[in-house]
Structure 1
């Protein structure tokens, strides 16, 4: 074999190795790329594909940012809605993270405002978590306008302990690479739920005081007539809710005369409606003083939890306080204020009860006939 043929064969072999080597390299890169992709099914049943774990996100719509804040990784938030930048009222997740106010604006926020695709694009998030979308079409539309994957999350239908919250937390954890933290959050919430139930589930009905909650926020603030049937916080402590007699579920406004008929043993007033309750008491003392709970000093304030969807942390703290009031023996080892701080610290990294109490009276019994 002459040198020229030998050199030609070497060149051909090198060329073939380069081709196959390049193909192998491309195959490896494609495989690696595909292995980084994440596919999730959101709470609307949409299958969403994400190129890789997201390092920067935005959370839009009622309560979306709160669930992200439970991961204690504010550096992943690229921007916030004005409703969370400017208004900290009753929002422990904002109070715990004052740096949120320094982030870019991504839209007005609020339940009646549509997302702002241009402002979202300006902060260049890799994922949009949204509670705005009530249907697949609106979520798909926002995803089409921005070119950014939209994952719909949800709080479900109850004030606390709704499985939809656990699902949403798992979705966030998977997408941002914090699945272990997501599991810790879910485990803690379920631990509280199980603890509340274990303490109260074997109390006979004839040993339970009847209870009523008024002043609940419902698209604004209301007085004592604003309540709920099948109230999830009462359900959490197996309370005897007088409103359940109606067979209705969720928010409703009752006729105040109906409350006299029910005449519950204990009444809770939500902090959001406390001022309206005070004003109404001053005008209608004769009405209120016919209620046994008021005559006997069995009226209590709970912290308000419904600000831009449910503050799950505050709702759980309220459930412990209700348990303490309704069943002192079963909750004799629980200090509601310390328990509230434990809940805030676990979910948001800070003890926040004193700040909430400063704004909303805190957990306390009212002595209406003496003070008002």
Structure 2
């Protein structure tokens, strides 16, 4: 009996000493975009994505099958959906909702999820609950990521992809996505790099969406399709020679002064009524009738740049179309729609642009009639 007692004590102490190591194997620490050190499970199988673009990035990483709920935009959206990642993945509409879009999460809804997420990714750290508050209310690690962009914010974008991939255990996929972005940008840049300055027509992008549709005066000084094609972006001067200005509303008078040779319209503007969208403004405002691009019939449609923040697949697809309009001989073998679907399939797992084109009545990737 004494032997059994001693043996039992020995087993107990062996179990006690082993337990911390056993638990540690199932947890690890990561540092999020805000510099917060968080303890998360080693194997993450259940997540939610909060904030603009967050689920888009997880979809690119091919880890979107591990979500357990979505924010309200994925289920309710709008009659015209300009998000290729969502078009390619209609199953998102069938998930339970954990909060309102743009990062306005509901701790109560999150607490009611079954199964529970193991981590929460959050791009809109300044919206809704502070990450620390949300983590305190839910007991779930909240990992902040910075969305970035394809020009001056590219390091943030790459960091976001790598951070999310590290959490999900799909690091190889993150490197594939980053390399794919690099290859697309390099391809477009190389096709246009040696175009003489005097052969680059002046361009303007109008009707650029930002947190909803906008009219003709909405533009972007660091518009990536122009940057990649070495286009002469007339609004580029607003960035004061630095690619640090992501959006601008310019005056009508300034557009007249710039008088661009070619105008591109972000077709998301068509979600506005006829008095406010960029196409109708060009058609009905006498001040715009004298623009060189309007007189020459050189107005073209592009797929929505922003919809729940930037659509990176659309940006690259638009870059190929912009290149084909500006320098047709250098993009002679490129079919922009086929390229767009190729990009969507790689990033989103399926096509999206044919459906986008249907929703916008064929206005993208073609001339837009201003004068009847």
TM range (shorter): 0.7 to 0.9
Gaps of 5+ in 1: 1-6
Q: Deviations over 1:236-287 (max 9, x none)?
A: 2222111123345221111212222211121100011245123223322x43
CA-based RMSD of the aligned residues comes to 2.5
Pick one of 160, 165, 168 that aligns with 1:173. Answer: 165
* Higher mean displacement: 185-194 or 141-150: 185-194
CA gap of 1:283–1:319, structure 2 versus 1, over 3 A, is same
In terms of fraction of residues, the more helix-rich structure is 1
Instruction: Give the distance between the partners of 1:366 and 1:160, measured in 2 at CA.
Output: 30
Q: Deviations over 1:99-138 (max 9, x none)?
A: 2111111112236xx3111111222100000112139x92
Note if contact 1:160-1:312 (Cα within 8 Å) is conserved in structure 2: no
For 1:256, the equivalent position in structure 2 comes to 252
* Within-5 A mapping of 1:3-152: 11=3, 23-87=13-77, 89-110=81-102, 114-123=104-113, 124-134=116-126, 138-152=130-144
For 2:312, the equivalent position in structure 1 comes to 312
Q: Deviations over 1:277-299 (max 9, x none)?
A: 23223322x43331111222211
Shift of 1:315: 1.5
Instruction: Give the distance between the partners of 2:101 and 2:213, measured in 1 at CA.
Output: 19
Q: Deviations over 1:201-251 (max 9, x none)?
A: 333322211111110113332222111112233112222111123345221
Instruction: Give the distance between the partners of 1:193 and 1:40, measured in 2 at CA.
Output: 30
Note if contact 2:216-2:278 (Cα within 8 Å) is conserved in structure 1: yes
TM-score of the pair, normalised by structure 1: 0.88
Shift of 1:28: 4.5
Gaps of 5+ in 2: none
Instruction: Give the distance between the partners of 1:299 and 1:354, measured in 2 at CA.
Output: 21
Pick one of 270, 284, 292 that aligns with 2:266. Answer: 270
CA gap of 1:247–1:62, structure 2 versus 1, over 3 A, is closer
For 2:204, the equivalent position in structure 1 comes to 212
TM-score of the pair, normalised by structure 2: 0.88
Instruction: Give the distance between the partners of 1:266 and 1:24, measured in 2 at CA.
Output: 76
* Structure number with bigger Rg: 1
Q: For 2:328, what is the secondary structure of its paired residue?
A: coil
For 1:349, the equivalent position in structure 2 comes to 349
Q: For 2:43, what is the secondary structure of its paired residue?
A: coil
Instruction: Give the distance between the partners of 1:21 and 1:283, measured in 2 at CA.
Output: 86
